[in-house]
Structure 1
Amino acid sequence: NDTTIEDSVKVSIIKRLSKASGHWGMVGGQALDMESEGKSIRLETLESIHETKTGALLNFSVMAAVDIAQVEQNIAKNLDEFSHHLGMMFQIKDDLLDVYGDESKLGKKVGSDIVNHKSTYVSLLGKEGAEEKLNNHQYLAMNCLNQ
C-alpha cells in the first residue's frame, strides 16, 4: 500500500526513474550503443554505455528501495556503489554468454554481438580479460555489501 510512502519519497523515486530511463540513462546509453556499432571503441566508452544503459536501471531499482527504506547515508552510498558493480557484472556476463553460452540453456541465439559488429568486453579484453573484469566487479560488489 503506497499510502505509507511520503510524497517527497515518491517525487524522489520519480526523478530517479526519469534520470535512469532518459537521456542521461537508458535512452542515452542506447543511443551511444547504436552509434558505436561497427566502430572500434575504447573500454572506457563501452563502460560508459553500460553504466547508462543497464547500469542506470539496476541503480534505479536499488536506490528506489533505499529511498523507501530511508536508510542511513553510508549504507545508501554503499548500495549505490554496489548497484554500479551489479550492472557491470550483468553486462560482462551477458557479453561472455553471447560468445560462449549454450543457446538451449539461454533460450536465445548466441553470437548476435559479433554479427552486429558490436564492441564487447570479450572483443576488447578476450575471454580471460572479461572474466577477470567480472570477478573484480563481483569482489567490489561484495565488498560494498560487507561494509
Structure 2
Amino acid sequence: MHIKGRDSSFKLEVLGYEFQNSTDTDDSNWLSVKIDCTDNTDKWSASGGFLRTMELIEIQEWLSSINDADSHPNRLSFTEHEIAFEYLDDGRLAVCLDYDCHPKGVNYNLNDDAEYQMHFTCNDKVLKRLIADIDTALKMYPVRNLSH
C-alpha cells in the first residue's frame, strides 16, 4: 500500500506472517509489516507486528466504503495503535502514526508525544489503487483459520 503527496509518501509493506509456524489462529494471523515514510524533509521507517490479516480486510472494506457517507466511520484503528487511518471532510486521507511508527521512533515519549498525521489527497483513482494494493497483500497473506 503506497500513497504519495507533493512532499510526502507513506508505504506499508507486508513482510510475512509474524508467527509463521503458529498453530493458534489468533497468533498465526499477526503480520510483520514495514512502513517507509517521507514528510517534507523527514524520513523514517519502522517494522513490527502492527497488523493482523483480518485488519487488512478491514482496511480494504473501509477504503471501499469511503464514498458511502452513511456506512463508513471516519476513523479506522486497530488492535495495536501504531497505525490508523482517518478520512477527512475535505476529501483527504490521514495516515495516523503513533508509538513505534511515529517519526520519533524509539525516542517517542508517552508523556509528551502524540499521534503524528500525514495527509494525502484521496480521489477515486487513489482509492482504487490502495484497495488493489491491499488485495495483493491479502492474496499473498490470507487469513489463516487454524484450530487451537
Please classify the TM superposition score into its range, dividing by the shorter chain length: 0.3 to 0.5
By percentage of residues, which structure has more strand? 2
Normalising to structure 2: TM-score of the pair? Answer: 0.35
Larger Rg, first or second structure (1 or 2): 1
Query: Which has the larger helix fraction?
Result: 1
